[in-house]
Amino acid sequence: MSSRSRQSRVGATPRNSRHSVAMTPVRAIQDALPPYKKPSHPLDGEAQRALRELNGSTLAAVKKHNTAAITQIRSTAEGVNDMLSEHQRYVDARSKKWDAGKKLDEKEDEEMIMVDLQQKVDEATAKLEESMRAIIDSSVAAQRIEDALEWLRQHAPRQLEEEYESQMTQRQTQRRQTQRAEGSDAGSDIDVQMDEGPTPGPTPLDGSHVALTGSVEMFTDRMEREKNAYTSISFTARYAKHNDYRDFKRVVHDARHGDNGPVLGHEDTWFTSAGEPQLGVTQTRGGAYDDDEDDLVMDKATISTKCPITFQQFKEPYSSNKCPHTFEKNAILGMIRTSGSHFGRGGARSVACPIPGCDQVDSSAEDLRSDPILVRKIKRMQRAELEESQMDSDGDEDDEDDVQAPQSSQPNRSGSRVQVSSTQQPSQSSIIEVLGDPSDEDDEDK
């Protein structure tokens, strides 16, 4: 018998497999959610508890993804533009020999390579800028969800109770008016007693039930209103005021021009009136925006390569958002952790700025951040100091007849010195919203 049972199961397997494939559409229909029905009662304790637990780990994962994507996009843009600047310095060094009548046979090829590299880096930077805006939109959307859920927790239970009481009062009033019109005083007394219970009472003759504005509707309505408010503001307000986008623009500009190039254009000039980004905008020194208090002008005379706490060379500089001072990360965070002072509603530990004469007295860990531009400037200064210390042994002049091309720009198998991916983009998050701009284009290898 057991043998026949095994044979029956074996023989049934192919039929079941074929049947399951054929029934997949039916199963999909059966798994579909029923039509939404408005709630007829306020949220009970179990429903309110479920509402409090909605946040979960999903939003945290989205935020973590967005933070990593922002770092990767900025780092990639920094890398390709540094490569372009390095190759430009190489071409400038070669041009001195061309001006002297040397190596003229390679001048045209080198100039064509430089033009091709410039075009590829520009294309890659434009796509990375578009990706940065998409990730910022995603981050704002994630925060919007979190804020809407918190609003629901605070207001939805009470709003449903008030709406329920209002509808019940209206039903009682309408019932009494109807009964008076019919002259049925006895029936009115009975109905009033029934309405005093916790239920909405008997279903009216027209079959209507109490229908409240559910939590889903409240959430959807609030999300839509907040999204419309966000998309209605200008690109300048949406992105140019955002720290991550500002860091992206500043890093790209610094990689292109360094300390001695033109000043980055004011953030109000980063987008056209039509919302198109202007990636290469600069301004002359002494322009109309030079006095903007939000932008600290940094030069070699005002930057130190050593931490004012440890008096050691910076390894991971952290800048304050409240004053123009920078410290070694571990040193300043260590001071905050051991501080006995607390600041703000949350009671976060804080310290006064350790620089003598600074009046900032309530800086917490949240007020500190890594400034990518300052990090670049400090690294350049440290590299310059190292090169200067080696100057005596290496000599002041480069008397080599040939200047070597940057390693990253050496010819590859395809015959070009550099190959820049024009499709460098972070993996898409399921929460990125289509906001109309940036436009959804199919990315293709250039």
Per residue in 252-300, pLDDT (tens digit) is 999 998 888 888 888 888 988 887 887 766 654 444 444 443 444 444 4
**pTM attached to this predicted model:** 0.67
Q: Is 83 helix (H, G, I), strand (E, B) or coil?
A: helix
The neighbour count for residue 367, using CB atoms within 10 Å, is 18
| pLDDT at residue 395, as a whole number | 55
Which stretches in the chain have pLDDT values below 50? Answer: 1-23, 187-188, 190, 192-203, 205-207, 284-301, 398-400, 410-446
| pLDDT at residue 28, as a whole number | 56
| pLDDT at residue 405, as a whole number | 63
Q: How far is the CA of 355 from the CAs of 164, 352, 361, 408, in angstroms?
A: 60, 9, 11, 42
| pLDDT at residue 302, as a whole number | 58
- Residue 263 CA to residue 350 CA, distance in Å, equals 35
Q: How far is the CA of 261 from the CAs of 255, 257, 284, in angstroms?
A: 10, 5, 10
- Residue 119 CA to residue 107 CA, distance in Å, equals 19
Q: Which residues touch 159 (CB under 8 Å, ≥6 apart)?
A: 213, 218
Token pair recorded at residue 422: 């024009």
Strand partners of residue 356: none
| pLDDT at residue 122, as a whole number | 94
DSSP string computed for 11-79:
HHHHHHHHHHHHTHHHHHHHHSPPPP---SS---HHHHHHHHT-STTHHHHHHHHHHHHHHHHHHHHHH
| pLDDT at residue 12, as a whole number | 44
| pLDDT at residue 443, as a whole number | 46
Domain boundaries, the chain: 33-295, 298-391
DSSP secondary structure letter of residue 326: E
- Give tens-digit pLDDT for 69-121: 999 999 999 999 999 999 998 898 888 888 888 888 888 888 899 999 999 99
In the CATH hierarchy, which fold is given to the domain comprising 298-391? Herpes Virus-1 (3.30.40)
| pLDDT at residue 226, as a whole number | 95
For the stretch 324-328, contacts whose Cβ atoms lie closer than 8 Å and that sit 24 or more positions apart, written own/partner, are 324/296, 325/353, 325/355, 325/358, 326/371, 326/374, 327/354, 327/368
- Residue 7 CA to residue 260 CA, distance in Å, equals 83
